[in-house]
Amino acid sequence: MPALRKELNILIADDDSTTRHVLRLLLREHGHQVVAEANDGDKAVELCEVHRPDIAFLDIDMPRMDGHSAAERIRQAAPGVGMIMVTNLPTLDNVQKALQIGIDGFVVKPFNAVKVVEAIDNCIKHKG
Amino acid sequence: MHRNEEIAAATTAGSQEKTFAMAGMRALILAEHSRRWEDLTAPLARFGMRFDIFDSTVEGLAAVNLAGRNGSAYKIVMIERHLQGVDAAVLGGAIRSNPGHREALLVMLDSANGDARPGLPGGGFSASLRTSASGAEFEATLASLCMSASGAPSPVGLPDRRADGEISSAHSGYNILVADDNLVNQQVAARMLEKLGCKAAVAADGMQAVKMHTLTPFDLILMDCEMPVLDGLEATQRIRAAEGTARRTPIIALTACTGQGEKERCLAAGMDDFLSKPIRPQMLGDVLARWLARPAASTVADSACEDELEEVKAMFGADFAELASLYQNDGGPRLAAMREAAAIGDCAKVAKVAHAFGGSCASIGATGLAALSKTVETAAKAGSLESFDQRMAGIENEYRRVCGKLQSLLTQ
């Protein structure tokens, strides 16, 4: 039986406004709510604490605090928030580090709607 | 969980020539443990290859790191479509970013059955293998990959390096569909097209070809005449009927016999030209030159850039116009800012702006431009502005091309 897709609250952290816009449109189109947006890692941690989104999309390369450090901090400060890493160019170090932190998913720009939805579904399945 | 196997060169496999090229080659497999690992490893063992297999992404990437450092890089990397929730494209990209593994051949292991995901998976993957693939299909794919990896001549002969460098820019970025039920022919044609700078997708029968072309129209189709389910002639008729007068995709018949009767039947069905099998690179190049308009960008040096603008446009529909204008509003000023920062030697600023610019490019689908921007960003981060002007000129050229293409996409 097809599971009913629930509307999720999502945070987007990326320092580029075009990227945030693209992702926001895509998430809305799939029935999700973007509850907060951050343009650096610091802000992402802060907003995750306040909004407790179901999922945070974190760009790896952000000013002030990168996605890896932000993910580690979010894990401490707001446990239960699912985390999906975003990158233009996955490098071995990048991906290895993120997997070691224990993030729930990975998407590569340009966003592919199918892959973003797969990552979200997988992240939710993870959290149970 | 991990297994490691070292096997001496196989002496019993059928084709000595093939096994010779592949013996001793290293392969890495990242696969769910729910799979039967023997099905994956047995063909490798038969070809005398050495392999490591993992069901953990972290362990697998650590192995890549180690192999890269030791100078014993993997030639072939097979990756589950999703492993521990991570997409194969991400893992593949990460592995290819390791200096020792730039040339690694990626194969996607797909557990989807049926024709849900036809064609090559893209994202740097050279082939995909379904769980349901037979041992023979598996070996044909491996053999065709290994031959291109080892530089050994394939049965039909691939173009040599000089020739392929010469031709590749002429057809760069075209999407070509190869419809052929013979797996080896299919893979050889696809590889040849890629060497010519095209993106190749494959279909195993006429019905699949029609479906794929309806979903995302190709720039040109190579169509085998005799195929199961729906033969090439009928597939062509269906495509022509669907296109009406709106579009005419060049369809090239792949045929073993080139008698006048056969040719007439092909033309009557709506095909445009012929290629006799086995396909030769030169003839394929000629056909492409005849039927594909040369892209304007091919005249600009260093512009073998690719993009996925159409895909992003298809994804966003009416919203694409807004995205494109957002992108172009920021683009020009950012490029100017990079030049200004470089003029006063401010590497940190150059890196910062290049990063922002590259991020936008990647999001809108200007992937080649994003990669160019990354080279400037990486150099600037390391405190270097060497060849900045030259790199910047390349970026500005490609940016103009991207803006032009955005314009034409929006007026379509």
pLDDT digit string, tens, across residues A82-123? 999 998 878 888 888 988 888 888 888 888 888 899 899 888
**Computed from CA positions of residues B402, B404, B409, B410, in that sequence, does the dihedral angle turn out positive or negative?**
positive
pLDDT digit string, tens, across residues B189-204? 888 888 888 888 888 8
Residues A93 and B203: their CA atoms lie apart, in Å, by: 36
pLDDT at B136: 76
Asked if A117 reaches chain B (Cβ–Cβ under 8 Å), the answer is no
Residue B122's pLDDT band (boundaries 50, 70, 90)?
low
Q: Tell me the ipTM for this assembly.
A: 0.72
CB B194 within 8 A of CB B188: no
- Identify all chain A residues contacting B112, using CB atoms and an 8 Å cutoff: none
Distance from CA of B235 to the nearest CA of A (A): 28
What's the rounded mean pLDDT across residues B372-377?
90
Which of B44-48, B167-171, B282-286, B346-350 tops mean pLDDT?
Answer: B346-350
Say if residue B408's pLDDT is above 80.
yes
What's the rounded mean pLDDT across residues B217-233?
90
CB B365 within 8 A of CB B309: yes
Say if residue B164's pLDDT is above 50.
no
Residue B206 burial by Cβ neighbours in a 10 Å radius (0-12, 13-18, 19+) = buried
pLDDT digit string, tens, across residues A42-71? 999 999 999 999 999 999 988 889 999 999
Residues B275 and B406: their CA atoms lie apart, in Å, by: 35
Distance from CA of B389 to the nearest CA of A (A): 23
DSSP string, B175-241: EEEEE-S-HHHHHHHHHHHHHTT-EEEEESSHHHHHHHHHHS--SEEEEESS-SSS-HHHHHHHHHH
Which of A67-76, B133-142, B245-254 tops mean pLDDT?
Answer: A67-76
Distance from CA of A105 to the nearest CA of B (A): 6
pLDDT digit string, tens, across residues B34-86? 777 788 888 888 778 888 999 888 889 989 988 988 888 998 999 998 888 78
pLDDT at B348: 92
A104 contacts B355? CB cut-off 8 A: no
> Which of B54, B363, B381 should we substitute to test contact with A (largest number of A Cβ atoms within 10 Å)?
B363
pLDDT at A53: 97
pLDDT at A94: 85
Residues B288 and B170: their CA atoms lie apart, in Å, by: 9
What's the rounded mean pLDDT across residues B374-402?
90
Helices B309-316, B347-364: crossing angle, 10 deg rounding: 60
From B79-83, B161-165, B242-246, B250-254, the region with the lowest mean pLDDT: B161-165
B61 contacts A109? CB cut-off 8 A: no
Helices B232-243, B260-269: crossing angle, 10 deg rounding: 30
- Identify all chain B residues contacting A21, using CB atoms and an 8 Å cutoff: 322-323, 326
- Identify all chain B residues contacting A63, using CB atoms and an 8 Å cutoff: 352
Residues B138 and B76: their CA atoms lie apart, in Å, by: 13
**E-only strand ranges, B247-323:** 251-255, 273-276
- Tell me the average pLDDT of chain B: 79
Residues A88 and A16: their CA atoms lie apart, in Å, by: 12
What's the rounded mean pLDDT across residues B302-327?
80
pLDDT at A52: 96
Please tell me whether the peptide bond between B250 and the residue prior to it is cis, using omega within 30 degrees of 0. Answer: no
Q: Which of B232, B229, B248 is nearest to B240 (CA)?
A: B248
Sheet holding B105-110, edge to edge: B2-5, B50-54, B26-30, B76-80, B105-110, B125-130
Residues B109 and B111: their CA atoms lie apart, in Å, by: 7
CB A59 within 8 A of CB A68: no
Which of A48-52, B242-246, B286-290 tops mean pLDDT?
Answer: A48-52
Q: Which of B58, B316, B374 sits opposite A100 (nearest CB)?
A: B58
Residues B127 and B137: their CA atoms lie apart, in Å, by: 11
- Identify all chain B residues contacting A91, using CB atoms and an 8 Å cutoff: 93-94, 97
Residue B335 tokens, joined: 């490029």
